[in-house]
Structure 1
């Protein structure tokens, strides 16, 4: 099964993570299986220095997995040293969910919801010079006159209604 995918993108500090968390909670409340992918352009570490899994990875393990009754975590070294295509990542790891919400993948060609805050940026990323046909909606703290639906930043239910009608029905 191939999950639906919706990206939440915007300038840093606009509230992307807050919106993604609310969308995940609401979609779970509606009974969907939800996955999430966060883009990190700066590099990251999920392992804690000194823990067994960190030691395995430091020793050279290509794949390290930690399992428990409640969670499974995998740390996989990326031998290509290039960021894998988002579509490939979703196809490989998210076959068991109904929808994947991504955050921060600004340059993908997937349906997008842009988060807009007047104080952070006056212009939108995906309208104007850079007209992205994949813009699904905008979540904003101010009214905007656009060719796509504009939701209040706190209208999680309305945004999920749109996602549900477009991708999950």
Structure 2
């Protein structure tokens, strides 16, 4: 990507800060060859003895520095990793194998895997023989390959960032748009969704898009200030604040300021490129108005089940919430 991935921002923190927070309480070893690397306290660091040969050298130095027999090794750009996944891998540990990695869609992942410290001599031999491909290690009899399709995890758990496009996808992968005709029940549906997600401990942001414009109530002090011509008006207390600015913005302007949320729900923006779910009610309208990508339909009409891949019952908000958690909320360890 042409930049230090450890310093990329995701959910208000750098990639590295997110992983250190995730694994707090564990012995954390970071492999880096960057002389300008910003080190963080209470974390141990190693530097590659063998330069420019890929991650095999970094894994070797981490295992040499580790005090433990088994070590979970992840890339700093794998921001969807969570402790549940690590514990899932740990459940497969046995003395018969030295590497425990996963397979998804016939792709084997050498990073986001558990390595035994006993792998040190083998890694040194691979490097000596100039065989730097980690996937060759996974063909050895000491490697245990675990198929993700038999687990509760999907491919998103191992998502990593190598391009600017992949980074943009990561930072926007927790955004959905709820669309529908006027009076289709969008606001009520979003209200219920927020309530369920908050009950589960997630941080949720809701954005309302007004396709025309909106007015500020002139009966409030802030409304009077704004309608008098103030360019910006703010109100705050010890618990919350609100700011209104009289200027034209786009949705990207808002999203750049909303990094710390687990899910961002937009009401409207039916012509955007975000994943959209349209509410279709029998008493309102059966015509679809949303432009692709239309990811699903939320409806009280039975006939839609044969026309779209993802169809959710309007009355079963819990099912929709569970789907959103699985597909959009980056897995995390709730604290």
Q: TM-score range by the shorter chain?
A: 0.7 to 0.9
Give the corresponding residue for 1:75.
Answer: 244
What is the deviation of 1:109? 0.7
Find the aligned partners of 1:155 and 1:6 in 2 and give their Cα distance. 18
Give the corresponding residue for 1:38.
Answer: 208
What is the deviation of 1:50? 4.6
Give the corresponding residue for 2:179.
Answer: 9
Give the corresponding residue for 1:164.
Answer: 325
More off after superposition, 113-122 vs 15-24: 113-122
Q: Does 1:102 align with 2:266?
A: yes
SS in 1 for 2:328: helix
Q: Deviations over 1:12-53 (max 9, x none)?
A: 11111111101111111111100001111232123x325332
Contact 2:279 2:297 in 1 (8 A): yes
Normalising by structure 2, we get a TM-score of 0.44
- Gap change, CA 1:17 and 1:51, over 3 Å in 2: closer
Contact 2:218 2:227 in 1 (8 A): no
Give the corresponding residue for 1:29.
Answer: 199
Contact 1:135 1:148 in 2 (8 A): no
Find the aligned partners of 1:23 and 1:15 in 2 and give their Cα distance. 12
Give the corresponding residue for 2:314.
Answer: 153
- Gap change, CA 1:9 and 1:56, over 3 Å in 2: same
Q: Superposition RMSD on alpha carbons, in Å?
A: 1.8
Find the aligned partners of 1:67 and 1:95 in 2 and give their Cα distance. 21
More off after superposition, 146-155 vs 22-31: 146-155
Give the corresponding residue for 1:114.
Answer: 278
- Greater Cα radius of gyration, structure 1 or 2: 2
Find the aligned partners of 1:77 and 1:43 in 2 and give their Cα distance. 11
Q: Deviations over 1:97-132 (max 9, x none)?
A: 111111121111101111011222222224xxx5x1
Give the corresponding residue for 1:140.
Answer: 299
Find the aligned partners of 1:148 and 1:87 in 2 and give their Cα distance. 29
Find the aligned partners of 1:141 and 1:147 in 2 and give their Cα distance. 14
Find the aligned partners of 1:122 and 1:115 in 2 and give their Cα distance. 9
Q: Which runs of 5+ in 1 are unaligned?
A: none
Indicate the structure whose relative CO is greater, using CA pairs within 8 Å and at least 6 residues apart: 1
